[in-house]
Amino acid sequence: MKKLLVILAVLSFAGAAFAQSANKVSEILKSAHLTYAQAAYLSQAALGNETSEDEAFSAAQRSGAIPKGCSATDEITLKNLAWVCSKTWSVDGSLMLKAFNNPRYTFRQMKADGVFDQNADPDKKPSGGEAMNIITNCIDIYEGGAK
Protein backbone atom coordinates (compact mmCIF):
# COMPACT_ATOMS: atom_id res chain seq x y z
CA MET A 1 0.00 0.00 0.00
CA LYS A 2 2.86 2.33 0.87
CA LYS A 3 4.27 1.71 -2.59
CA LEU A 4 1.04 2.71 -4.24
CA LEU A 5 0.87 5.87 -2.14
CA VAL A 6 4.36 6.89 -3.20
CA ILE A 7 3.52 6.48 -6.87
CA LEU A 8 0.22 8.27 -6.45
CA ALA A 9 1.94 11.09 -4.57
CA VAL A 10 4.35 11.48 -7.47
CA LEU A 11 1.48 11.36 -9.92
CA SER A 12 -0.36 14.08 -8.01
CA PHE A 13 2.09 16.54 -9.57
CA ALA A 14 0.46 15.71 -12.85
CA GLY A 15 -2.49 17.82 -11.67
CA ALA A 16 -5.66 17.39 -13.71
CA ALA A 17 -4.60 14.07 -15.11
CA PHE A 18 -4.18 12.62 -11.63
CA ALA A 19 -7.44 10.67 -11.53
CA GLN A 20 -6.77 9.09 -14.90
CA SER A 21 -3.21 8.23 -13.87
CA ALA A 22 -4.34 6.75 -10.57
CA ASN A 23 -6.74 4.50 -12.44
CA LYS A 24 -3.96 3.40 -14.78
CA VAL A 25 -1.62 2.63 -11.86
CA SER A 26 -4.38 0.68 -10.11
CA GLU A 27 -4.93 -1.28 -13.33
CA ILE A 28 -1.22 -2.06 -13.61
CA LEU A 29 -1.14 -3.19 -9.97
CA LYS A 30 -3.67 -5.87 -10.83
CA SER A 31 -1.63 -7.23 -13.76
CA ALA A 32 -0.34 -10.78 -13.38
CA HIS A 33 2.62 -9.90 -15.60
CA LEU A 34 3.94 -6.45 -16.44
CA THR A 35 4.21 -5.54 -20.11
CA TYR A 36 6.91 -3.40 -21.74
CA ALA A 37 4.39 -0.61 -22.28
CA GLN A 38 3.33 -0.70 -18.63
CA ALA A 39 6.96 -0.66 -17.53
CA ALA A 40 7.64 2.36 -19.71
CA TYR A 41 4.49 4.06 -18.38
CA LEU A 42 5.47 3.45 -14.73
CA SER A 43 8.98 4.78 -15.19
CA GLN A 44 7.56 7.96 -16.73
CA ALA A 45 4.78 8.25 -14.14
CA ALA A 46 7.31 7.95 -11.32
CA LEU A 47 8.95 11.10 -12.68
CA GLY A 48 5.60 12.87 -12.77
CA ASN A 49 5.37 12.76 -16.56
CA GLU A 50 1.78 12.19 -17.68
CA THR A 51 1.76 10.14 -20.88
CA SER A 52 -0.22 7.29 -22.30
CA GLU A 53 1.22 3.77 -22.34
CA ASP A 54 1.75 4.02 -26.09
CA GLU A 55 3.56 7.34 -25.82
CA ALA A 56 5.71 6.04 -22.97
CA PHE A 57 6.54 2.88 -24.94
CA SER A 58 7.49 4.87 -28.06
CA ALA A 59 9.67 7.18 -26.00
CA ALA A 60 11.31 4.17 -24.34
CA GLN A 61 11.95 2.61 -27.75
CA ARG A 62 13.59 5.81 -28.97
CA SER A 63 15.84 5.94 -25.91
CA GLY A 64 16.95 2.32 -26.47
CA ALA A 65 15.20 1.04 -23.32
CA ILE A 66 13.25 -1.62 -25.22
CA PRO A 67 15.17 -4.58 -26.71
CA LYS A 68 14.73 -5.02 -30.46
CA GLY A 69 11.83 -7.25 -31.42
CA CYS A 70 9.87 -6.64 -28.22
CA SER A 71 6.36 -5.28 -28.60
CA ALA A 72 4.35 -3.14 -26.19
CA THR A 73 2.26 -6.10 -25.05
CA ASP A 74 5.14 -8.52 -24.46
CA GLU A 75 5.74 -9.45 -20.85
CA ILE A 76 8.90 -7.87 -19.47
CA THR A 77 11.57 -9.67 -17.43
CA LEU A 78 13.23 -8.23 -14.32
CA LYS A 79 16.48 -7.82 -16.27
CA ASN A 80 14.77 -5.74 -18.96
CA LEU A 81 12.73 -3.82 -16.38
CA ALA A 82 16.07 -2.86 -14.81
CA TRP A 83 17.20 -1.65 -18.25
CA VAL A 84 14.03 0.45 -18.65
CA CYS A 85 14.55 1.93 -15.18
CA SER A 86 18.18 2.74 -15.98
CA LYS A 87 16.94 5.08 -18.73
CA THR A 88 14.94 6.97 -16.11
CA TRP A 89 17.32 6.90 -13.14
CA SER A 90 21.05 7.08 -13.17
CA VAL A 91 22.35 3.58 -12.39
CA ASP A 92 26.08 3.61 -11.85
CA GLY A 93 28.81 2.01 -9.77
CA SER A 94 29.80 -1.09 -11.73
CA LEU A 95 32.95 -1.47 -13.79
CA MET A 96 31.36 -4.16 -15.96
CA LEU A 97 28.37 -1.89 -16.55
CA LYS A 98 30.70 0.86 -17.72
CA ALA A 99 32.45 -1.57 -20.07
CA PHE A 100 29.33 -3.38 -21.32
CA ASN A 101 26.33 -1.12 -20.93
CA ASN A 102 23.61 -3.79 -21.12
CA PRO A 103 20.58 -5.14 -19.19
CA ARG A 104 22.59 -7.95 -17.55
CA TYR A 105 25.03 -5.68 -15.73
CA THR A 106 22.35 -3.05 -15.08
CA PHE A 107 20.31 -5.70 -13.29
CA ARG A 108 23.31 -6.82 -11.26
CA GLN A 109 24.18 -3.27 -10.25
CA MET A 110 20.59 -2.60 -9.22
CA LYS A 111 20.71 -5.81 -7.21
CA ALA A 112 23.87 -4.55 -5.49
CA ASP A 113 22.09 -1.23 -4.85
CA GLY A 114 19.22 -3.08 -3.16
CA VAL A 115 16.54 -2.46 -5.78
CA PHE A 116 16.18 -6.20 -6.32
CA ASP A 117 16.48 -9.05 -3.81
CA GLN A 118 19.84 -10.83 -3.79
CA ASN A 119 18.21 -14.02 -5.07
CA ALA A 120 16.08 -12.30 -7.71
CA ASP A 121 15.93 -14.18 -11.00
CA PRO A 122 16.78 -11.87 -13.91
CA ASP A 123 14.45 -13.77 -16.22
CA LYS A 124 11.46 -13.69 -13.91
CA LYS A 125 8.38 -11.90 -15.28
CA PRO A 126 7.21 -9.60 -12.48
CA SER A 127 3.59 -8.89 -11.64
CA GLY A 128 2.27 -5.35 -11.59
CA GLY A 129 2.57 -5.24 -7.79
CA GLU A 130 6.17 -6.48 -7.86
CA ALA A 131 7.03 -3.92 -10.52
CA MET A 132 5.51 -1.19 -8.37
CA ASN A 133 7.80 -2.22 -5.50
CA ILE A 134 10.79 -2.03 -7.83
CA ILE A 135 9.83 1.41 -9.13
CA THR A 136 9.37 2.61 -5.55
CA ASN A 137 12.78 1.19 -4.62
CA CYS A 138 14.26 3.11 -7.55
CA ILE A 139 12.66 6.32 -6.26
CA ASP A 140 14.00 5.65 -2.75
CA ILE A 141 17.50 4.63 -3.80
CA TYR A 142 18.17 6.88 -6.80
CA GLU A 143 16.36 9.89 -5.38
CA GLY A 144 17.82 12.97 -7.00
CA GLY A 145 19.47 10.88 -9.67
CA ALA A 146 16.80 11.24 -12.35
CA LYS A 147 18.32 11.74 -15.78
Partner 1 sequence: MKKLFTVAFALAFTANIFAVDFGGLLGASTDFKFDGNKYDAAKLEQQETLSGWLRVPFDEYTALAVEASVQHKLNAKFGDNSECDNNIILDLNLLKFSKIFKFDNANLLELAVGRMFVADSTALIFAQPNDGVSVKYTASKFELFGYAGYSGLLNIKNVSILSSAGNVFFLPDEKKVYDFAAPYLTTMFSATLPYLFAEQTLSAEVMLFLPAGGPSELPDDEKTRFYTTAMLNGPLMPALFYDASLTLGLPNLSKLSLLTKLDLIYYASFKNASISLNAIYASGSGDALSPFVGFTKITSCNSAQEPIYSGITKFGITASVLPIKPLYISAGASVVLKKESSMGYYGFEIDANAKWQPFSDLQVTLGASTFIAKDEDNNRTEITLGGALAF
Q: Decide: is 32 part of the binding site for partner 1 (CB under 8 A).
A: no
- Closer CB to partner 1, residue 43 or residue 109? 109
Residues in 54-113 that interact with partner 1 by CB under 8 A: 93-96, 98, 108-109, 112-113
- State the minimum distance, in angstroms, from the CB of residue 123 to partner 1: 3
Min separation Cβ 72 and partner 1, Å: 23
- Please give the Cα distance from 77 to 60 (Å, whole number): 15
For the window 106-135, what string marks contact with partner 1 as x by the rule CB under 8 A?
A: --xx--xx-----x-xxxx-----------
Nearer to partner 1, 41 or 105 (CB): 105
Q: Which residues bind partner 1 (CB under 8 A)?
A: 93-96, 98, 108-109, 112-113, 119, 121-124
